[in-house]
Chain A
Amino acid sequence: MLITLASCRAQATPDGVVIDFWGMGREGEVAQQMMPEFEAEHPGVHVHVQQIPWTAAHEKLLTAYVGHASPDVAQLGNTWVPEYVALGALVPFDSLLKITPTVSATDYFPGIWATNVLSDTVYGIPWYVDTRLIFYRKDILARAGFDSPPTSWPQWMAALRAIKAREDPGAYPIYIPTNEWPPPTIFALESGSPILRDGGRYGAFDDPPFKKAFQFYLDFFRGGLAPRLGINEVGNIYQEFERGTYAMWITGPWNIGEFRRRTPPDFQSKWATAPMPGPDGAASGVSLAGGSSLVVYRASRHPREAWQLVEFLSRPEQQLKFYHLTGDLPARLETWRDTSLANDPAARAFEEQLGRVVPTPQVPEWELIATRIFDYGEQSIRGGMPADTALARLENEVNRILERRRWLLDRPTRKAGR
Chain B
Amino acid sequence: MSRAPGERGEARAAWVFLAPALILITAFFFLPVVTGLALSLTDFDLYAIGHPENVRLVGGANYRALAQAPMFWSALKNTLYFAFVGAPLSVLTALAAALLLNSRLTRWKGFFRTAYFAPFVTTLVAVAIVWKYLYHPRFGLLDAALGSAGIRPVDWLGDPRWAMPAIIVVAVWRSFGYNMLIFLAGLQRIPAEMREAADLDGAGHWSRLWHVTLPQLAPTFVFVGVITAIGFFQVFAEPYVMTGGGPLNSTLSMVLYMYQEGFRWWRLGSAASIAFVLFALVLAVTMIQLAWRREET
Contacts and interface: CB of A to CB of B under 8 A. Distances in A.
Contacts of B45: 404
Interface in B47-85: 47, 49-51, 53-54, 56, 65, 68-70
A404 B47 contact: yes
B198 to A, nearest CB: 55
A59 B51 CA distance: 20
B70 A417 contact: no
Contacts of A273: none
Interface in B14-64: 43, 45-47, 49-51, 53-54, 56
Interface stretch (B103-111, B258-266, B272-280): B258-266
Interface stretch (A41-49, A114-122, A230-238): A230-238
B50, B138, B266: most-surrounded residue (chain A CB, <10 A)? B266
Contact of B43 (A229, A365, A404): A404
B247 interface: yes
A105 interface: no
Contact of B248 (A382, A405, A408): A382
Contacts of B165: none
Contacts of B49: 65-66, 87
Contacts of B51: 88, 416-417
Given A62-B266, A179-B246, A87 B50 contact: yes
A274 to B, nearest CB: 30
Interface residues of A, number: 35
A83 B248 contact: no
Contacts of A83: 46
Given A66-B49, A400-B65, A393 B138 contact: no
A397 B265 CA distance: 14
Contacts of B137: 233, 235
Nearest to A400: B65
Contact of A408 (B47, B65, B138, B160): B47
A86 B47 contact: yes
A405 B54 CA distance: 10
A397 B155 contact: no
A63 interface: yes
Contacts of A414: 53
Contacts of B50: 87-88
Nearest to B136: A235
A391 to B, nearest CB: 14
B158 interface: yes
A379 B160 CA distance: 12
A182 to B, nearest CB: 17
B196 to A, nearest CB: 58
Interface in A166-223: 179
A59 B248 contact: no
B248 A378 contact: yes
Interface in B121-176: 137-138, 155, 158, 160
A230 B247 contact: yes
A375 B244 CA distance: 13
A400 B68 CA distance: 11
A230 B246 CA distance: 10
A86 B50 CA distance: 11
Nearest to A382: B248
A364 B46 contact: yes
B152 to A, nearest CB: 15
B263 A59 contact: yes
A417 B53 contact: yes
Interface of A: 58-59, 62-63, 65-66, 83, 86-88, 179, 229-230, 232-233, 235, 364-365, 367-368, 375, 378-379, 382-383, 393, 397, 400, 404-405, 407-408, 414, 416-417
Interface of B: 43, 45-47, 49-51, 53-54, 56, 65, 68-70, 137-138, 155, 158, 160, 246-249, 263-266
9 contacts: A65-B49, A83-B46, A87-B50, A88-B50, A230-B158, A232-B158, A364-B46, A404-B43, A417-B54
Given A88-B51, A230-B247, 19 more contacts: A66-B49, A87-B46, A87-B49, A179-B247, A233-B137, A233-B155, A233-B158, A235-B138, A364-B47, A367-B265, A375-B249, A378-B248, A382-B160, A383-B248, A393-B70, A404-B47, A405-B47, A414-B53, A417-B53
A-B interface, 10 closest residue pairs, ranked by CB to CB distance from nearest = A233-B158, A368-B265, A416-B51, A417-B51, A59-B263, A59-B264, A235-B138, A417-B54, A66-B49, A230-B247
